[in-house]
A and B are shown apart, each in its own frame.
Chain A
């Protein structure tokens, strides 16, 4: 009898944990909403790799935190800045979508899993060199030798787009951490994963850090996770605040540099 109770208790605990996990990581499928037409107003542009889909869920890496992550973030942008973005809509674009030219600032989740065709590589390279700015988020160290989804896979793919591209670790003094909020220490930056600390890296034109930043990389952390769950109370407000501050700074920096 005691064993049964213990077993039931263990099952209930497991179910509760599973339910919490499900809530937190969004295993539920979500339809991809149609992209609104361009009207000059800022809109969050999420990059898609792989084929177009009608529904996305946690198994589709690029769609992680869609659509709540970006919409919560845009609502914050709307509240704290004069950007006045769309916050009830967002857009999803492939790397070689001609419409991407109308959105010079884009976001990609789980770039460790991305892969590109030749056409996508060429189109995305042109977008970057003409003035595009991309934010990579939500990926971590390689879990095991040969594991896709970590840094090495990301760099390998990026180098297909811009051969020879290098990434530079940034410290707190970089202007991107001061473009709106003053982020003077990375100690307060939240960590979503269980290994190490977040690392902020960037790629620059001609591999010259004094030139224009092409890509900002949130490595070993996942700030959009905080954006997604900010209304739920599942994550600490202080950490969520810091995640938003990073996002706001990235957007302001990307729109001015």
Chain B
């Protein structure tokens, strides 16, 4: 389209955009043209009087054509021109930034690698674009990927960069060329920026300094045939034996309807596999992979789609995720307000789980408790915890059929804080003393729970109903509500729910709060919906509600086989989910992976046993390198946030790093956290690696430059010349000799001749 425009109008369109239209004829010439025009008008008037028997319509058409012809000639005689600010040759500098990252090796330009464009246009002494730019500007080359460097010659590019960071690249070139007459920056790249940072700041700075950027997008903006594992979301840590449900987002082009296997490998061992049928081209699909974290330690899980024979990019078919699988024993407090079978069967369900210690405080009579599975003889000896330190030591709390009035106002507030501030998991079970029937409505705990509580039914009309339980749409994909086969080889999950016996409820819970998620739902005897399992995030923690009173029927009902593990599996998963992600007193976060030599940032959050932030702790990260060397890195309080400490280090060798962070203060140890991270060259360059024309176009528009593709790059020198930046001179460019003018003249003459022939006037 641009070439066609230039063919008709002599100059590319951007010249017209930049230039100012004017007539440059001299005053004498203008006078002469005026006189000629008057004579022409007089001639036309004469034409008008001489009829010659010509019909009025013919005279009108011929007059119009003749006036048009004369007008066009007059337009040319006035010498129409464009006035531009053009750069003075060799007086201006031009920064040329060449993408040196791995994605440039992708061969998506008619089978040619993207690098070929750079080699052809900049790498040879006789390269056309290089010469055209060199004639007008003093060139300064830069290469960029995860780092930015000056480049002596484009031939020095190696295309080994493991990341693309456009923002730092533009800023570095801007800074290096500051103070020089700068015509602009040319950015030759595929635009596949892999950094998380936005470009806003960099672009605003360039705009403020009037530095236009001229991106040249290399590559196709959509691959013909490619499958990509776009995103994988795994927890950073989990308990050994936990069933993980990981969402894997797969996108593709060119494989609609194809079924491909998706596998999860745990350090080389296949943990799960699932067939995925790909949606329409350009669409993505989310697959929930369920597998068990069976081995302890820092485990590298690989999510991989089998490579197809004709894929253009094969490196984006797999993603890795590092997960800390710990073998610790998490303590859960289960308070039950009356003897009932629910507690017995929950206890049985988790008794063989080595990673869960459910400590039971069973009230058997007024002020009489039975303590089971306690860690020491003094544990819970005073009943339900009365201090934050005591309560917050547990990673989850289960409230059975126990009324709110059995807790003091402080304890109720503490339970709410347990979720919101400590980040613990809270589960309330159904029962005669639970929810509204237990007087929980209006308490701080009711705020935390994910369900709405109606007023309790009273007297003989107390609510009781059987409830047939079904998973909701969300529930079908959550691990906690994905049921295993009852016995080996039998059906599982969704259809398995149809076979389970109905439960019963004494708390009418009809709806969940906005923002809460309903995982299990049921229909009661009145055909009304009963919430069976719901959850919501609340503050730092999460709260669950299971308002049924006898989930143990999933074990004891006559229809359930002895070897059926549904009840035990459900409860183990539920309680593991409850404790999943519950923070410790010392919690350290860091990137899962960095490039060797890149800065690794550590952030620690430190709290005391009551989970109050501590700012005066001695926090040290003991970093063990892959070769076994231990480096102690003191962490400093960030000042900007209570309890937050920061440090960083540069991993100079590739491999797995252990970061063991200890926090102490004068009163004693606050805790230890162990996380792992790895330094390795990533494949990020091959993900979303199609040329990003939208991003590059925005860079051009925001800075006053212009976006080009490899096919239109020949216009680049002209575009920079007329951009008006740097040392410039006013240029006038004639327009009277545009091919379109000649075509119009010939067209009018031809039309007049043709009309006369047609009408028999010639």
**Interface set of A (CB-CB < 8 Å, partner B):** 38-40, 42, 80-84, 98-102, 104-105, 123, 126-127, 129-132, 179-180, 212, 251-252, 254-257
Binds A, one of B310-318, B554-562, B667-675, B729-737: B554-562
Nearest B residue to A41, CB-CB: B432
Once the chains bind, are A40 and B556 in contact (CB under 8 Å)?
A: no
Given A131-B344, A131-B348, A82–B555 Cβ distance below 8 Å? no
B366–chain A nearest beta-carbon distance, Å: 7
Once the chains bind, are A42 and B340 in contact (CB under 8 Å)?
A: yes
Contact of B339 among A101, A130, A255 (CB under 8 A): A255
Measured between beta carbons, the chain A residues less than 8 angstroms from B363 are: 82
Measured between beta carbons, the chain B residues less than 8 angstroms from A251 are: 339
B365 contacts partner chain A, Cβ-Cβ < 8 Å: yes
Given A82-B339, A101-B558, A179–B370 Cβ distance below 8 Å? yes
Given A82-B363, A130-B560, A104–B344 Cβ distance below 8 Å? yes
Once the chains bind, are B340 and A123 in contact (CB under 8 Å)?
A: no
Once the chains bind, are B555 and A130 in contact (CB under 8 Å)?
A: yes
Closest 3 CB pairs of A and B: A98-B558, A82-B338, A101-B558
B513–chain A nearest beta-carbon distance, Å: 26
Given contacts A82-B365, A83-B339, A255-B341, 7 further A-B contacts (CB under 8 A): A82-B338, A83-B338, A84-B432, A100-B558, A131-B348, A131-B556, A252-B339
In the bound assembly, the distance between CA atoms of A2 and B233 in angstroms comes to 104
Given A39-B464, A102-B557, A104-B344, A131–B338 Cβ distance below 8 Å? no
Measured between beta carbons, the chain A residues less than 8 angstroms from B345 are: 104, 131
Once the chains bind, are A40 and B464 in contact (CB under 8 Å)?
A: yes
B412–chain A nearest beta-carbon distance, Å: 20
B164 contacts partner chain A, Cβ-Cβ < 8 Å: no
Given A252-B339, A256-B339, A256-B344, A180–B364 Cβ distance below 8 Å? yes
Once the chains bind, are A81 and B339 in contact (CB under 8 Å)?
A: yes
Contact of A131 among B368, B370, B552 (CB under 8 A): B552
The interface centre, meaning the residue of A40, A42, A83, A98 with most chain B CB atoms within 10 A of its CB, is A40
B320 contacts partner chain A, Cβ-Cβ < 8 Å: no
B357 contacts partner chain A, Cβ-Cβ < 8 Å: no
Measured between beta carbons, the chain A residues less than 8 angstroms from B558 are: 98-101, 123, 126
Once the chains bind, are A252 and B555 in contact (CB under 8 Å)?
A: no
Nearest A residue to B503, CB-CB: A40
In the bound assembly, the distance between CA atoms of A83 and B363 in angstroms comes to 10
Nearest B residue to A132, CB-CB: B556
In the bound assembly, the distance between CA atoms of A255 and B340 in angstroms comes to 6
In the bound assembly, the distance between CA atoms of A212 and B555 in angstroms comes to 16
Q: What is the 8 Å Cβ interface bit string for chain B, positions 327-359, against chain A (1 contact, 0 not)?
A: 000000000011111011101100000000000
Measured between beta carbons, the chain A residues less than 8 angstroms from B561 are: 126
B211–chain A nearest beta-carbon distance, Å: 75
Measured between beta carbons, the chain A residues less than 8 angstroms from B630 are: none
A6–chain B nearest beta-carbon distance, Å: 56
Given A131-B552, A180-B364, A212-B348, A256–B343 Cβ distance below 8 Å? yes
Nearest B residue to A83, CB-CB: B339
Contact of A39 among B365, B504, B557 (CB under 8 A): B504
B504–chain A nearest beta-carbon distance, Å: 5
Once the chains bind, are B339 and A104 in contact (CB under 8 Å)?
A: no
B100–chain A nearest beta-carbon distance, Å: 66
B550 contacts partner chain A, Cβ-Cβ < 8 Å: yes
B60 contacts partner chain A, Cβ-Cβ < 8 Å: no
Measured between beta carbons, the chain A residues less than 8 angstroms from B368 are: 180
Once the chains bind, are A256 and B370 in contact (CB under 8 Å)?
A: yes
Measured between beta carbons, the chain A residues less than 8 angstroms from B170 are: none
Once the chains bind, are A255 and B365 in contact (CB under 8 Å)?
A: no
Q: For the side of the interface on B, what is the size category? A: 35 or more
Nearest B residue to A85, CB-CB: B339
Nearest B residue to A248, CB-CB: B364
Nearest B residue to A125, CB-CB: B562
Nearest B residue to A257, CB-CB: B344
Measured between beta carbons, the chain B residues less than 8 angstroms from A42 are: 339-340
A76–chain B nearest beta-carbon distance, Å: 12
Nearest A residue to B548, CB-CB: A40
Contact of A129 among B337, B364, B365, B562 (CB under 8 A): B562
Nearest A residue to B340, CB-CB: A255
A133–chain B nearest beta-carbon distance, Å: 9
In the bound assembly, the distance between CA atoms of A212 and B347 in angstroms comes to 11
Once the chains bind, are A101 and B366 in contact (CB under 8 Å)?
A: no
**Interface set of B (CB-CB < 8 Å, partner A):** 337-341, 343-345, 347-348, 360, 362-366, 368, 370, 372, 432, 464, 504, 506, 549-550, 552-553, 555-562
Once the chains bind, are B557 and A126 in contact (CB under 8 Å)?
A: no
In the bound assembly, the distance between CA atoms of A256 and B339 in angstroms comes to 7
Measured between beta carbons, the chain A residues less than 8 angstroms from B560 are: 101, 130
Once the chains bind, are A82 and B337 in contact (CB under 8 Å)?
A: yes
Given A251-B339, A256-B344, A256-B372, A130–B464 Cβ distance below 8 Å? no
Once the chains bind, are B556 and A104 in contact (CB under 8 Å)?
A: yes
In the bound assembly, the distance between CA atoms of A101 and B506 in angstroms comes to 20
Nearest B residue to A253, CB-CB: B370
Measured between beta carbons, the chain B residues less than 8 angstroms from A254 are: 344
Once the chains bind, are A40 and B562 in contact (CB under 8 Å)?
A: no
In the bound assembly, the distance between CA atoms of A20 and B344 in angstroms comes to 43
Given A101-B557, A127-B556, A82–B344 Cβ distance below 8 Å? no
Measured between beta carbons, the chain B residues less than 8 angstroms from A84 are: 338, 432
B61–chain A nearest beta-carbon distance, Å: 98
In the bound assembly, the distance between CA atoms of A131 and B556 in angstroms comes to 7
In the bound assembly, the distance between CA atoms of A200 and B339 in angstroms comes to 23
B604–chain A nearest beta-carbon distance, Å: 41
Measured between beta carbons, the chain B residues less than 8 angstroms from A130 are: 555-556, 560, 562
Nearest A residue to B363, CB-CB: A82
Measured between beta carbons, the chain A residues less than 8 angstroms from B339 are: 42, 81-83, 251-252, 255-256
The interface centre, meaning the residue of B343, B364, B506, B549 with most chain A CB atoms within 10 A of its CB, is B364
In the bound assembly, the distance between CA atoms of A177 and B608 in angstroms comes to 41
The interface centre, meaning the residue of A80, A100, A255 with most chain B CB atoms within 10 A of its CB, is A255
Contact of A40 among B360, B365, B506, B559 (CB under 8 A): B506
Measured between beta carbons, the chain A residues less than 8 angstroms from B360 are: 256
The interface centre, meaning the residue of A251, A256, A257 with most chain B CB atoms within 10 A of its CB, is A256
Once the chains bind, are B553 and A102 in contact (CB under 8 Å)?
A: yes
B706–chain A nearest beta-carbon distance, Å: 75
Nearest B residue to A251, CB-CB: B339
Given A40-B504, A129-B562, A80–B365 Cβ distance below 8 Å? yes
B351–chain A nearest beta-carbon distance, Å: 9
B107–chain A nearest beta-carbon distance, Å: 63
In the bound assembly, the distance between CA atoms of A38 and B555 in angstroms comes to 16
A253–chain B nearest beta-carbon distance, Å: 9
Measured between beta carbons, the chain B residues less than 8 angstroms from A82 are: 337-339, 363-366
Nearest B residue to A79, CB-CB: B365
What are 30 A-B contacts with C-beta separation under 8 Å? Answer: A40-B504, A40-B506, A40-B549, A40-B550, A81-B365, A82-B338, A82-B363, A82-B366, A101-B553, A101-B557, A101-B559, A104-B344, A127-B556, A129-B562, A131-B344, A179-B364, A180-B364, A180-B370, A212-B348, A251-B339, A252-B339, A254-B344, A255-B340, A256-B339, A256-B343, A256-B344, A256-B360, A256-B370, A257-B344, A257-B347
Nearest A residue to B360, CB-CB: A256
B368–chain A nearest beta-carbon distance, Å: 8
Measured between beta carbons, the chain B residues less than 8 angstroms from A255 are: 339-341, 343-344
Nearest A residue to B362, CB-CB: A256
Measured between beta carbons, the chain A residues less than 8 angstroms from B362 are: 256
Measured between beta carbons, the chain B residues less than 8 angstroms from A101 are: 553, 556-560
In the bound assembly, the distance between CA atoms of A105 and B370 in angstroms comes to 19
In the bound assembly, the distance between CA atoms of A42 and B364 in angstroms comes to 14
Nearest A residue to B505, CB-CB: A40
B238–chain A nearest beta-carbon distance, Å: 29
In the bound assembly, the distance between CA atoms of A159 and B550 in angstroms comes to 31
Measured between beta carbons, the chain B residues less than 8 angstroms from A126 are: 558, 561-562
A216–chain B nearest beta-carbon distance, Å: 15
A68–chain B nearest beta-carbon distance, Å: 23
A194–chain B nearest beta-carbon distance, Å: 35
Given A104-B341, A131-B344, A252–B464 Cβ distance below 8 Å? no
